[in-house]
Amino acid sequence: MATLTRGELTAQELLSHEMGLHTEKLSGRSQQVFFDFDLNETAYGFGLPNAYDVDYNKRAEIDASNMPSNTVNVRIRELMQDGYGTIVIKNPGAKHSMAVGILNRLNLIIEGSLGYFGVGLIDGPNVRISGRVGWSCAENMMSGTILIEKNAGSQFGAAIRGGDLVCKGDVGSRTGIDMKGGSIIVGGNTGAFTGFMMQRGRMVICGNAGKNLGDSMYDGTIYIGGEPASLGVDAVWAEITDLDRKWLERKLRQYDLVPKSGIGHFRKIVAGKQLWNYDNLEPTEKKLVL
Does residue 48 have a pLDDT over 90?
no
Which pLDDT band holds residue 44 (cuts at 50, 70, 90)?
Answer: very low
Over range 90-115, report the average pLDDT. Answer: 97
pLDDT at residue number 290: 52
pLDDT at residue number 278: 54
All residues at 6 or more sequence positions from 208 whose CB lies less than 8 Å from its CB, including other chains: 189, 190, 224, 226, 227, 228, 229
Which pLDDT band holds residue 274 (cuts at 50, 70, 90)?
Answer: confident
Task: Give the span between the Cα atoms of 109 and 147, in whole angstroms.
Answer: 10
Q: In Å, what is the CA distance from 115 to each residue of 10, 14, 99, 128?
A: 57, 55, 11, 15
Q: 5 vs 147, which has greater pLDDT?
A: 147
pTM (2 decimals)?
Answer: 0.80
Least confident of 40-49, 87-96, 144-153, 154-163: 40-49
pLDDT at residue number 45: 44
Report whether 144 contacts 120 (CB < 8 A): no
Report whether 56 contacts 108 (CB < 8 A): no
- pLDDT tens-digit map of 152-205: 999 999 999 999 999 999 999 999 999 999 999 999 999 999 999 999 999 999
Does residue 26 have a pLDDT over 80?
no
Name the fold adopted by 55-289: Pectate Lyase C-like (2.160.20)
Beta-bridged to residue 109, according to DSSP, are 88, 128
pLDDT at residue number 43: 46
126-134 long-range contacts, CB within 8 A, separation 24+ = 127/99, 131/92, 131/94, 132/94, 132/169, 133/167, 134/94, 134/96
On average, the pLDDT of the chain sits at 87
- pLDDT tens-digit map of 254-272: 999 999 999 999 999 999 9
Q: 71 vs 34, which has greater pLDDT?
A: 71
